[in-house]
Chain A
Amino acid sequence: MRGNGRSSGFTLVEVVIASAIFVLLSINVWMVTKAGRSAAATGTFMMTLEDELHLTVDRISLALMAADSSAVDGPAMKPLSSESVSYQANLGLEDGQVVHGPLEEIQWIPVATEDGRIVWRERPSEVEEREMTWSNAVPQAYEDEVAGNGIDDNLNEIEDERGLAFTMEGARVDIHVTVERVDEHGRRRPLSRTTQITCRN
């Protein structure tokens, strides 16, 4: 055995150094990975939230744009607001008369203490009623608004507006939507958008 003149294995110092380097590298990699994973998760989370907000606002806007302004019911003038709107779309003219579609309704419905969902209904309260949830992450109050205190907390000229709020002036409807979800750290992350549309009919 000695005739080989070579020792097998590593010295203790080598092993210790190698282990230390490995640990340091591992910690570094773990931290980078964790930060990256967290950033990716946050990015994905916010993008999903934003996507949900855009889709919801788009659906509401397009529905109300096609509505007959005289058949829109619910929205109030600022500083009041409403969390629901009922309307009828204009389907065209027949014999000179406007043909309306069935009654439709968009409404915020509470599902828990702080949360609610946006529901679209066609022919509400009728046998042929159809219902679809457009978002189930809409809080009780709009972003930075405290519900029920009678104050315009977020300075948007509306008092105590909900996570879904409509205001109307003439044929112009303002749509205010907040969606809010809990991220991986357990924090509530709200995202809001206000858009203004004009009923085209």
Chain B
Amino acid sequence: MKVQASRRRGAALVVSLITVMLVAGLGAALIQLQASLDKRHAFSIDRRRALYIAEAGLAEAALAISQGKSGTLASEDQPALYGGGLYWVESIDLPENKIALVCTARVGTAEFVLRTLVLPNLNPVSSLGFFGTQGVEIGWGTVADGYHSGRGTFTTQLDPSEPIDTTGELLLVGSNGDIELDEGVVGTRADKLEGDATEPDGGFSWSTVLEGDGREPDSGGEPGDIWGSPPGGSGEAPPLSAPPGHPTRLYGRLRPGVEGVVLSNGFSEIDGRIDAFRELPPLPAVTLPSCSETLLGTVTISGEVTNVGSEVDTRIEGDLALAAGATLTLVGPKVIDADRLVLAAGATLRLDDSSGPIQIYARAGIECAPGSIWESISAEPDARGVTVIVDQMAGNQERVALPDGGRFHGVLYAPSDAVMVPAGLRWFGSIACRHLSTEPGARITYDRRLGIGGDGVPTLPRILSWQIVPVGDGLARNLAVEPLLALSLRGVVPLSPTEAAPETHCEIQYVDVAGLASTYSGPFTGLDLTDVVRIVGVRWIDVRDGNLRGWLRPSGDDPTDAIETDRGALKKQRTTLTSLGGEPRAGLLSDALVVELIASVPLDKLAAEDAEVQEANERNSAQIDPDRYLDGADNVKWDELFDDVVERDAGVDDVAPVPIVPGG
């Protein structure tokens, strides 16, 4: 009996143990399942966080690039800390100014890698190549191609396989309207668009409209025909005016406007492609510089002269005129702001931008007599950029007459004017204007290097491509160890994002308070900013190879008087408004009501003609509290008012008028 009793107790123990094991096993399985779900959930969240950190890293790198740095940030050995995770960016310089950025971000359990291709500081004007907002007309026999002066001079990049001296590389011709290839055939756009129209005299007649996809919509011929020489067929070919010995040759990309087409009679040879703009590229407004010295009256140059004025930035209250036989050499860095640039026959304007950029503002146009010359004398790879700007003006203007001789390397920006490139003027660079045409036999070459950098207009990096680099499961890698923990185990302290860029030393060219060009070399933080009026250019020492990177103009406009001008406009409007008087305007004599009216009118209206500003009489303010802008003595605080009006109008297309209560 004792043995049996003992057996029973043992059996109970075994049963209990089995039960406990089952329960424990079940519990462990549940915990494991839950842990697995938690882990997946955490990974899903960490993956998204890592994506955001990677995007932030790329944005930081793009900012560094816009400052002329390489774009490299931190490193795998010592990453940067941001948003509770770590990141580093590797950058690779590619041909044609492009930079590839690869950002790796690690946070929690996930690693995410993004890759982008960036064009630094794309200039919205010079990157357009040869551009006419209202159309482009390429004269018969024009040869147009492209090159990159960063790779050497034009002659070193010639393609020996081409029958003429050309690189055979990418040109860029664009327009908001049509691109017309003038082949000496008389005809209107309507004639060409009709396609099957016949010549009135019943002779040979054909035409080709090249659409964005390069097909012949109207002629019905083989698509390949349009690139070749004039097609044969019945009839007699129309006579060509002043044939230059070879047909028009265009190497590159033609971009007509959204509704535009490329009009051709098929004589031109195009080695490239046609694709219309999807949306019209915006052209920036011309902002005139604020010069440190002013010369009164027209400045006439005779004989041989180097530079005008004693300082870097010179405003001429009149024309800059070169008399017959005169030679003016402008040496960069130099800014000239004149009413007009006038060259008499036999005058020569020489441009040396090897030591700094040259900007010529010809507010009211350029007038170069036949026989005058523009001559760029810098070696193309050393050129820092020449920009000639004609101020915009309402209506279609014809204020630009270029010299008919010489060799120009730079950019011409004349948004309101028609520009014709003479056959005798060899043009390297780009032109953006209202209507662009080339004389028969002209020779133009687009320099893609000039598409990068400020040169008087604000610029931004452009992201050309954005990719997720597959790692792990294809989207992100699952990390075994928390990255911050792994870093601390290695004894590494992560960098802060502000210290992530390895570049510390640079060379800065600037205009000092005396108005002269100066150069500083050393750590960026060592520059005495109190002595700096304007940054001309900056280049950083690339820590990857110890070499200086290329010069880069800072993004943004040159300093202008715009702010002061607008402040003045506000004060002027106060005078206008308070002088209105009478009923129902009597109330306007109160400063409070003047402020109220000014605050209710968009800034651009305030800066416009007085008559327009008087619309303020019809408005009141519901947007800005006028009491803010009056001090205890009821004086207007103009600066605060101006700043708030600017801030209010930023990004607002139109400020809705609010009906005024008569008499205030």
Q: Which of A40, A55, A91 contacts B465 (CB 8 A)?
A: A91
Q: In the complex the two chains form, what is the Cα distance from A58 to B48 in whole Å? A: 8
- B: residues with CB less than 8 A from A are 30, 33-34, 37, 40-41, 44-45, 47-48, 51, 96, 98, 115, 117, 170, 278, 463-468, 475
Q: Which of B44, B96, B115 contacts A55 (CB 8 A)?
A: B44
In the complex, which residue of chain B has the Cβ closest to the Cβ of A91? B467
Q: Which of B41, B47, B115, B465 contacts A51 (CB 8 A)?
A: B41
A51-B44 contact in complex given A58-B475, A96-B96, C-beta closer than 8 Å: yes
B475-A70 in contact (CB<8A): no
Task: Tell me how far the C-beta of B129 lies from the nearest C-beta in chain A, rounded to whole angstroms.
Answer: 12
B468-A62 in contact (CB<8A): yes
Q: Which of A58, A89, A200 contacts B47 (CB 8 A)?
A: A58
A47-B37 contact in complex given A55-B44, A70-B278, A93-B98, C-beta closer than 8 Å: yes
A96-B117 contact in complex given A44-B37, A58-B44, C-beta closer than 8 Å: no
Q: In the complex the two chains form, what is the Cα distance from A66 to B47 in whole Å? A: 16
Task: Tell me how far the C-beta of B88 lies from the nearest C-beta in chain A, rounded to whole angstroms.
Answer: 20
Task: Tell me how far the C-beta of A87 lies from the nearest C-beta in chain B, rounded to whole angstroms.
Answer: 13
Instruction: List 4 other contacts, CB 8 Å, given A58-B47, A66-B467, A90-B465.
Output: A40-B30, A50-B41, A62-B468, A92-B467
Sorted from nearest, which 4 A-B pairs have the closest CB atoms? Answer: A200-B466, A92-B465, A54-B44, A90-B465
CB<8 Å pairs between A and B, sample of 18: A47-B41, A51-B41, A54-B41, A55-B44, A58-B475, A62-B51, A66-B468, A91-B465, A91-B467, A92-B115, A92-B467, A93-B464, A93-B465, A96-B96, A98-B464, A200-B463, A200-B466, A201-B465
Task: Tell me how far the C-beta of A18 lies from the nearest C-beta in chain B, rounded to whole angstroms.
Answer: 17
A65-B466 in contact (CB<8A): yes
B464-A89 in contact (CB<8A): no
Q: In the complex the two chains form, what is the Cα distance from A201 to B114 in whole Å? A: 13
Residues of the A chain whose Cβ atoms lie less than 8 Å from the Cβ of B466: 65-66, 90, 200-201
In the complex, which residue of chain A has the Cβ closest to the Cβ of B55? A200
Q: In the complex the two chains form, what is the Cα distance from A70 to B275 in whole Å? A: 14
Residues of the A chain whose Cβ atoms lie less than 8 Å from the Cβ of B475: 58-59, 62
Residues of the B chain whose Cβ atoms lie less than 8 Å from the Cβ of A96: 96, 170
Q: Which of B37, B47, B115, B464 contacts A48 (CB 8 A)?
A: B37
Taken residue by residue from 21 to 56, chain A's Cβ proximity to chain B (1 for < 8 Å, 0 otherwise) reads as 000000000000000000010001001101100110
A90-B44 in contact (CB<8A): no
Q: In the complex the two chains form, what is the Cα distance from A90 to B98 in whole Å? A: 16
Residues of the B chain whose Cβ atoms lie less than 8 Å from the Cβ of A47: 37, 41
Residues of the B chain whose Cβ atoms lie less than 8 Å from the Cβ of A48: 37
A93-B117 in contact (CB<8A): yes
Q: Which of B34, B115, B467, B468 contacts A44 (CB 8 A)?
A: B34
In the complex, which residue of chain A has the Cβ closest to the Cβ of B252? A96
A92-B41 in contact (CB<8A): no
Task: Tell me how far the C-beta of A170 lies from the nearest C-beta in chain B, rounded to whole angstroms.
Answer: 10
Q: In the complex the two chains form, what is the Cα distance from A83 to B98 in whole Å? A: 38
Q: In the complex the two chains form, what is the Cα distance from A142 to B465 in whole Å? A: 33
A90-B467 contact in complex given A44-B34, A70-B278, A96-B170, C-beta closer than 8 Å: yes
